[in-house]
Amino acid sequence: MNLNTNANTEALSVTDVNRYIKMLIASDDVLSAVAIRGEISNFKRHTSGHLYFTLKDSGAEISAVMFRGDTGRLTFNPSDGMKVVVYGNIDVYEKTGKYQVYVRNMIADGVGAMAEAYERLKRKLEAEGLFAEERKRPLPRFPQCIGVITASTGAAIRDILNITGRRYPQAKILIYPSLVQGVDAPASLCMGLEMLNAYGECDVIIIGRGGGSIEDLWAFNDERLVRTVAASAVPVISAVGHETDFTLCDFASDRRAPTPSAAAEIATPDAAALLSYTQSARERLDKDIDTVIKVRGQKLGQTENALSARSPEARLSYMRKELEHKKERMDTSVDRLRDRRTSEYRALVEKLDALNPLRVLQRGYSAVKDGDGRVIGSVGELSEGQRVTVIMSDGRAEAEIISVEENEDSGGRTDAC
């Protein structure tokens, strides 16, 4: 190797060297249109929309950049660990003297690579608790406003509008038209979630799209989007693809729907069924109210009767009746006693009347009294010449005893005449 160290040899500037190398690489037919297979690492999405990453294999690595104008061709969302094939050219960035791949297009290196990236991110987010059942919230039973994040055209939005209009037309539908496929779709979907949350009127949000390949649905496996779904203050229904399609957004959402149509049914009650239920409930309520009124009315009547029985007026009425009853009983007793006493009196009167001396006198007998008015009952009490008074039934007479004679059977006593 001949190293010319002659002082007269002209030295090149760093810029000249880098420019020369750039020219050599750019003129190489192989490097001007190259396809490279490798694994993505150090992936970064710049705010400008450019993608920066490293492409590596088991033996080496090379820097790569994909400018925003070319990202529209992507049908999936690149991420670390994903195996891809990139198409572009090798060029030198003169300022740093580093060469890199300028990617014009990129495809996943087989479904297996995307599935591997899917499972790796799923395990990571699951370990953080983003998919835990206990953090999922119940959906509102009667939503007044339903937010929808999907493409502005296509079957998904038509199905959602048709079903919500038929089942629950009173609900307000707020649509955020979003990209649902391609490299810019995750940012658009995240923006929709953030705006509907900030709007403050949505009771539930449906996010999704119709079916497609794994590449078509890949935007809904984006890590940032999955975290935004989990962080939503409004309950989220994820409706991505068909019934057999599962994305990471499905696991992070509060409820997964197999299709957009199913999401509309989950989010809304059936107005017809609700009306039927309301009518039936009203009939049952009316019946229950009638029963309660009847039972309470009976109880009220019983209470009124009990109160009436215990009222002063009722007590006075009861006592008045008791007094009248006792008076009747007393009057009856008095009448009976009077009758009995009258009968006894009459019997005594008759008995006395039978023993009345006047009655004896009326039969022709008379009574003799001495001068002191004492009744003389024996001739032994009389003496000749004694003045006596003879009392008869119709008067009296004064007499003098002429003689006194006793009957033989009277024991020496005589009757005075």
pLDDT per position as a tens digit, 21-64: 989 988 888 888 999 999 999 999 999 999 999 999 989 999 99
Longest distance between any two alpha carbons in the chain, whole Å:
228
Q: Is residue 328 part of a domain?
A: no
What is the pairing mode between strands 51-56 and 61-66?
Answer: antiparallel
Domain boundary among 220, 243, 269: 269
State yes or no: pLDDT of 414 exceeds 50. Answer: no
156 in the same domain as 245:
yes
Domain C-terminal end among 254, 269, 284: 269
State the Cα–Cα distance between residues 351 and 194, nearest whole angstrom. Answer: 130
* 252 belongs to a structural domain: yes
Same domain flag for 179 and 239? yes
- The answer to whether residues 33 and 40 touch, using CB atoms and an 8 Å cutoff, is no
- 416 pLDDT exceeds 60? no
Q: Distance between CA atoms of 21 and 91, rounded to whole angstroms?
A: 9
User: What does R_g of the chain's alpha carbons equal in angstroms?
Assistant: 67
In a shared domain, residues 265 and 146: yes
Amino acid identity for residue 235 in this structure: P
Say if residue 105 is in the same domain as residue 147: no
Q: Is residue 97 part of a domain?
A: yes
Q: Is the CB of residue 172 less than 8 Å from the CB of residue 158?
A: no
Query: Which candidate, 71, 132, 118, places its Cα nearest to that of 246?
Result: 118
pLDDT digits (tens, 9 = 90+) for 235-257: 999 999 887 778 999 999 999 99
State the pLDDT confidence band at 7, using cuts at 50, 70 and 90: low
**Structural domain of 377:** 363-415
For residue 338, tell me if it sits in a domain: no
Strand partners, 364: none
Q: Mean of the pLDDT values across residues 169-191?
A: 93
Q: Could you tell me if residue 152 is inside a domain? A: yes
Length of the chain: 417
CA distances from 64 to 83, 182, 365 (A): 14, 19, 177
Give domain status of residue 290, yes or no.
Answer: no
The token duo for 245 is: 């399609």
End-to-end CA distance of the chain: 217
101/8: higher pLDDT:
101
Closest CA to 30 of 84, 86, 85, 88: 88
Position 312 scores a pLDDT of: 80
Q: Give me the percent of the chain exceeding a pLDDT of 90.
A: 41
Q: Specify the number of domains making up the chain.
A: 3
**The predicted structure's pLDDT at residue 73:** 84
